[in-house]
């Protein structure tokens, strides 16, 4: 899954129309690089960030979905807002990546009625404050318990198992030690019988391990992606599509697990 941020901080010095245009160009490049799925996001969920208003998020995201809907690969939209989910699905999106795991009022119904895929991600707290001293008694069991509970909530709303993907949410209300514990236990998340997705690409845990800044974390990201795949993770949310794709092709071939 290639990451396409439709945010002015990703495409600086642009006007609001140009932001979507640049994102479309970038998305096409990621498809050429071998992405199997794209994640389009108009609201930055980085730690410490504040919300984008609804109109602005729609203005950013919808033109990108419309431009890409006739492409060869499915489009996911990274949003927590039910209105954006609904409009995105109408515009041709086939998956919603919700860092809030469908806890917004009305979100469950939209996914149940549309039949699109959804990623349920674990996040402790809200983006603005989630990295202020997150605490867990046992991070692995707490995250597993939350995802199990959200799977059940989704099922009870009429969402079918084949629509679901789960994600432990690396960096979302987690310290380095929490992230490491979760990564080492990733194999446990495959027992829910829904595909597991992870986003570790360029994240601060890799910066802490390597000492590298955010633009120098490609090798670290590839290594983590391959190890996640070895632990049974099916969807890798990444910035470096070409490098990750190549690494996974080699991993699958050498692991005799070619699909």
* Helical ranges in 69-138 per DSSP H: 82-91, 107-114
Q: Hey, what are 173's tokens?
A: 């209300």
Q: Which of 237, 242, 245, 259 is catalytic?
A: 237
For residue 93, what are the CA distances in angstroms to 21, 63, 131?
Answer: 18, 12, 31
* Closer residue to ligand 7PM, CB minimum distance, 95 or 248: 95
203 catalytically annotated: yes
Pairing of strands 38-41, 197-198: unpaired
Taking the complex as a whole, the smallest distance from the CB of residue 238 to ligand 7PM amounts, in Å, to: 9
Pairing of strands 164-167, 117-121: parallel
Contacts of 15 (CB under 8 A, 6+ apart): none
Q: Which of 144, 203, 217, 245 is catalytic?
A: 203
* Closer residue to ligand 7PM, CB minimum distance, 20 or 79: 79
Three-state SS at 206: helix
In 3D space, the residue among 225, 247, 222, 221 whose CA is nearest the CA of residue 236 turns out to be 225
Taking the complex as a whole, the smallest distance from the CB of residue 198 to ligand 7PM amounts, in Å, to: 6
- 171, 205 contact by CB (below 8 A): yes
C-beta nearest to ligand 7PM: residue: 199
144 catalytically annotated: no
Taking the complex as a whole, the smallest distance from the CB of residue 121 to ligand 7PM amounts, in Å, to: 4
* Closer residue to ligand 7PM, CB minimum distance, 20 or 39: 39
Taking the complex as a whole, the smallest distance from the CB of residue 253 to ligand 7PM amounts, in Å, to: 27
Q: Residue numbers of the site for ligand 7PM (CB under 6 A)?
A: 3, 45-47, 78, 97, 99, 119, 121, 167, 169-171, 197, 199, 203, 237
Taking the complex as a whole, the smallest distance from the CB of residue 22 to ligand 7PM amounts, in Å, to: 17
* Closer residue to ligand 7PM, CB minimum distance, 91 or 197: 197
* Closer residue to ligand 7PM, CB minimum distance, 97 or 256: 97
In the DSSP assignment, the letter for residue 198 is E
- 97, 121 contact by CB (below 8 A): yes
Q: Hey, what are 49's tokens?
A: 């960030």
Residues with active-site annotation: 203, 237
């Amino acid at each position: 899954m290639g990451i396409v941020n439709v945010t002015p901080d990703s495409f600086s010095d642009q006007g609001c129309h140009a932001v979507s245009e640049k994102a479309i160009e970038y998305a096409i490049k990621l498809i050429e690089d071998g992405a199997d799925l794209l994640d389009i996001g108009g609201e930055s969920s980085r730690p410490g960030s504040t919300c984008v208003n609804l109109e602005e998020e729609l203005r950013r995201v919808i033109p990108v979905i419309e431009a890409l809907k006739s492409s060869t690969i499915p489009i996911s939209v990274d949003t927590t807002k039910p209105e954006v989910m609904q409009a995105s699905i109408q515009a041709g999106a086939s998956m919603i990546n919700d860092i809030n795991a469908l806890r917004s009022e009305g979100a469950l119904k939209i996914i149940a009625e549309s039949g699109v895929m959804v990623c349920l991600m674990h996040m402790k707290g809200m983006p603005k404050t989630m990295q202020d001293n997150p605490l867990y008694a046992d991070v692995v069991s707490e995250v597993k318990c939350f995802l199990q509970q959200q799977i059940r909530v989704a099922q009870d709303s009429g969402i079918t198992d084949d629509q679901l993907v789960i994600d432990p949410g690396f960096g979302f209300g987690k310290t380095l030690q929490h992230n490491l514990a979760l990564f080492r236990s990733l194999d446990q998340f495959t027992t829910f019988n829904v595909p597991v997705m992870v986003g570790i690409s360029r994240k601060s845990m890799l910066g802490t391990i390597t000492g590298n800044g955010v633009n120098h974390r490609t090798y670290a990201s590839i290594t983590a992606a391959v190890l996640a795949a070895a632990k049974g993770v099916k969807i890798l949310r990444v910035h470096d599509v070409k490098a990750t794709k190549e690494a996974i092709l080699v991993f699958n071939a050498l692991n005799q697990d070619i699909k």
